[in-house]
Copies of this chain bind each other. A is one copy, B any other.
Amino acid sequence: MELSGQQREDARRFLLGRRRSELTQDERAALAAVLSARMVIPARRTIVRRGEEVRHSTLLVSGFLSRYMDARDGYRQIVSVQVPGDFVDLHGYPLRRLDHGIATLTEATVVTVSHEDLTGLVKRFPHLARMLWFSTLLDAAMHREWIFRLGRLEAAGRLAHFLCETYERLRAVGLAADGRFEFPLTQQDIGEACGLTSVHVNRTLRRLREDGLVEVSAREARLLDMSKLAALGEFEPDYLYLDDERRSVR
């Protein structure tokens, strides 16, 4: 079967910025070959609900997705924001059933891989299997950092940490530079990620702006003083396992 340029390009995004986990030509081609056609999903759509069985996994090509859990009072807690290049629900492959919901934050382009195809892939390419495992472990590492953020930082630190993490992850996949990146989340979204009300996010962002640390608009975030932000958020990017962690921040 002929590979389309689009499939190649989509497969290339996976684990971008983690050279240590470079895939071979063969592995990448095999992955590309099982990718579905691209699908575009409007903003703020639920893709998978908690408890649902999944038969394929989703690779995010562009836009932002959230993984979230609903609370009884109607509020939701975002447990993870996925950026382009992330396999969103790869863990659904061994687990079969998702323990949380997935929704778009912005309009998003995705491609999928059926679990059947994944089984074929991991049989033929043990190293690729290991890299898929690795990528789910990155998620877990980010979860842990997310726990730290909620458990030990106050509002300003949480926002600083969240912004630093998002920046570094986008930078790794070429979507951020010079402290700037597209960031079309609402203050409500940010609050749901950081365990704060949108009102408090607003006030805290204002303070950070007044202190010259960041500027966050509806479209874009600008991190004006990375080292102060990193200090405020106690952000140490080692847990992202990036290529160039020694040079980034600090």
Q: Which of B123, B146, B148 contacts A126 (CB 8 A)?
A: B123
Q: Are A136 and B133 in contact (CB under 8 A)?
A: yes
The residue on B at minimum CB distance from A100 is B144
Q: Give the size of the chain A interface in residues (CB under 8 angstroms).
A: 44
What CA separation (Å) do A134 and B234 show in the bound complex?
Answer: 31
A239 within 8 A of B: yes
Chain A interface residues (CB < 8 Å from chain B)? 50-51, 67, 69, 71-72, 75, 77, 79-80, 91, 94-95, 97, 99-100, 122-123, 126, 129-130, 133-134, 136-137, 139-141, 143-148, 150-153, 194-195, 234, 238-239, 241
Interface pairs (21), CB distance under 8 Å: A50-B238, A69-B144, A69-B148, A71-B152, A79-B144, A79-B148, A91-B137, A94-B133, A94-B137, A95-B134, A95-B137, A97-B238, A99-B141, A99-B239, A122-B130, A123-B126, A126-B129, A136-B136, A136-B140, A137-B140, A146-B147
